[in-house]
Every structure is written in C-alpha cells, then in structure tokens.
Structure 1
C-alpha cells in the first residue's frame, strides 16, 4: 500500500479489514460505554479536498422479507478539510468537542435520529462500512440531510475527489 493513499482508520478497530467493532460502540454495550461513536482518523486526503462527508452503513442487513437493504447508521456532513478525525463519543456532542468541529452536522440515519446508532442483535456478524468522501467544495448541508432522502450521495457525486473505506464486523 502506498504511503500517500487516502486512508480511513480507527484506533479502536483492527484496520486491516474486517476488524471487530468493539462492544461499547454497539447497542449491546454496557454502562456509560454504550452505543457511542467510534474514534476515526483519516490520512492523506486528495490535494483538492475542501470538506468531507461520512456515511456508515450495515452492508449485510436484510429486510423482514429477506431482501438486502443497506441500513444507514450514521451520516456526518460539513466536515472541514482541516479536520483529520472524529473523537470517540463525538456523536451527539458536537458543541462540546471544540471549535474545530463547530461546522460539522450529523444527518438523519435510518432511525430518523441525528446520532450514531450502533448495531444490535440480530445483526451479529454483519459488516459495517465507514465511507469517507473527500469533496472539492465546502458542503453546507443541515442536520436534516440523509444518505438518500435529501440526495446527499447525488449532491456530492460530481464533487467527490476521493473515498476512503474502513470495514468492521459486529
């Protein structure tokens, strides 16, 4: 792997692909470490990057009829190009984590909440894809944006200059 590759990693997850998502980042956690967003870091964004957007999905989920459906667990937009990661427990605490994160908004996930929603049974064994989009413009979405409803992916398609993916299993 080239050292200048745009890369998304987490100090809490084995970053060599398919690492296990620790229990406290799921709805199966305990105590104060329950369903908190994992720490993320990214390195070597493309030179034209002006902002980032993050979408986290369960890529192995199925609906009650057994049809594949990608459940969106977290949407984060308006991430400035100067930011190189999100701290553990960032979700729901944007105003408490520092001025550099002030512009960042959490969009609606498939549970219609603006928060990280970790996995729970019966999704054990599913793969979770953290996909970070490097964009060539500064995004200005509000917290009502979703992966599809307000067409986030359509809006950023022509402006994506790079993607970094981290996959973890539940």
Structure 2
C-alpha cells in the first residue's frame, strides 16, 4: 500500500530536526548543571494493535579500538504505553514522579552501565545519534536489568513497526 507520508509511523523531536544537531544540553559536554537532559520525543501514527513501545538510542559511528564501528548505547526505554504520545524533555529518571501512564515505563542500562539517558561526550564530533522506536504487539518482561541486547533478543516476531530519528553530535 502506497503511503503519502501522512499516515506513516514517525518519531520526531521538537528540539532536533532529522539529521540536525543534537543541542548541547542533551550531551555530557559544556558548562553548568543543565546537561545530560533527555531530549523530548513525540511519535505519530502508531501501527494498529500496538501494545507497547520500546526506544533505543545509540551512536552508530562509535569507534572501538578492535573494531571500526560498534554502536554505543545511550538510552534504552521499554514498556512505553501506546496511550502516551511522547516523552517530555528531561523525562529520564522521572517516570515514577510523573506517575499515571508513565509509571510502568522502565529505563534500561546504557553502555556506561548506568540506567537512563546519558548524552554523548566524544573525542571528535560529527557522529550520528540514532533514535529508534519500536511498536510492539506485547509488553516486554525483561526482568530487573534491561539492556539493549535483551530488548533486541526479545522483540523478534513482535515488531509492528519502526520509526527513527537521527541527530548529529
């Protein structure tokens, strides 16, 4: 079925245009306390029968000494209910405080072995930070320690759609 784009499952950020720069206060660089704040995200046109959403944010240009490109995970979020239409700026770490539909959301461990959003701090800039949102036909039961690997292993056969956004850091 051809799509005119208007009914496409989409992920956007009011603060970041696709292929646009990631604003500095979402990173781990710069002065002052206003940094490492998770960026706002919004999504549209969820696939029919979506029961939960899962988000993975990774630097897809991350260098590893042994291997040229190994994606670096900055944020993993699972069990986002389809009743909410986005995550507000600074959401990371506040799901319990916000309550309501947000309270069942679970943040996973990033590649720094910390829970929640951790913005990039890089030796060189120009890396692409990829936000990928998965629409799933079920809730995920990943136990206490949620990781990108556990998430990706468990969603096979459950993905109804994917939406993405890329920012340049």
TM-score with structure 2 setting the length: 0.93
SS class of match (1:157): coil
Pairwise CA RMSD of aligned residues? 1.3
Q: Any gaps of 5 or more consecutive residues in structure 1?
A: none
Residue 158 of structure 1 corresponds to 157
Q: Which SS does the other structure have where 2:155 is aligned?
A: helix
Of the structure 1 ranges 77-86 and 137-146, higher mean CA displacement relative to structure 2 is found in 137-146
How big is each residue's C-alpha offset from its partner over 1:61-119, in whole Å with a ceiling of 9 and x where there is no partner?
11124521100000000111111100100111111223120000100111111110101
Aligned-pair distance for 1:25?
0.1
Partner of 1:141: 142
The answer to whether structure 1 residue 121 and structure 2 residue 125 are counterparts is no
Give the deviation of 1:145 after TM superposition: 1.1
Partner in structure 2 of residue 22 of structure 1: 23
Residue 57 of structure 1 aligns to a residue in which SS?
strand
* Displaced runs of 4 or more, over 4 A: none
Could you tell me whether the CA contact under 8 Å between 1:61 and 1:123 is conserved in 2? Answer: no
User: Does residue 5 of structure 2 align to residue 2 of structure 1?
Assistant: yes
Q: Cα–Cα, structure 1 residues 123 and 53, in superposed 2: closer, same or farther, change >3 Å?
A: farther
Q: Is the 8 A contact 1:105 1:143 kept in 2?
A: no
Residue pairs, 1:7-156, within 5 angstroms: 7-14=10-17, 17-65=18-66, 67-148=68-149, 151-156=150-155
Contact between 1:114 and 1:143, CA under 8 Å: does it hold in 2? no
Contact residue 133 and residue 160 of structure 1 kept, 8 A: yes
The Cα offsets for residues 121-165 of structure 1, whole Å up to 9 and x where unpaired, read as 2141100000000001122334511011xx211211210000000
- CA offsets, 1:12-49, max 9 Å, x none? 001xx211100000001432321110000000010121
Whole-angstrom distance in 2 between the partners of 1:123 and 1:98 = 38
Range with greater deviation from structure 2 (134-143 or 69-78): 134-143
User: How many Å separate the matches in 2 of 1:66 and 1:106?
Assistant: 28
CA distance in 2, matches of 1:123, 1:90: 27
Q: Quick check: 1:107–1:142 contact (8 Å CA) kept in 2? A: no
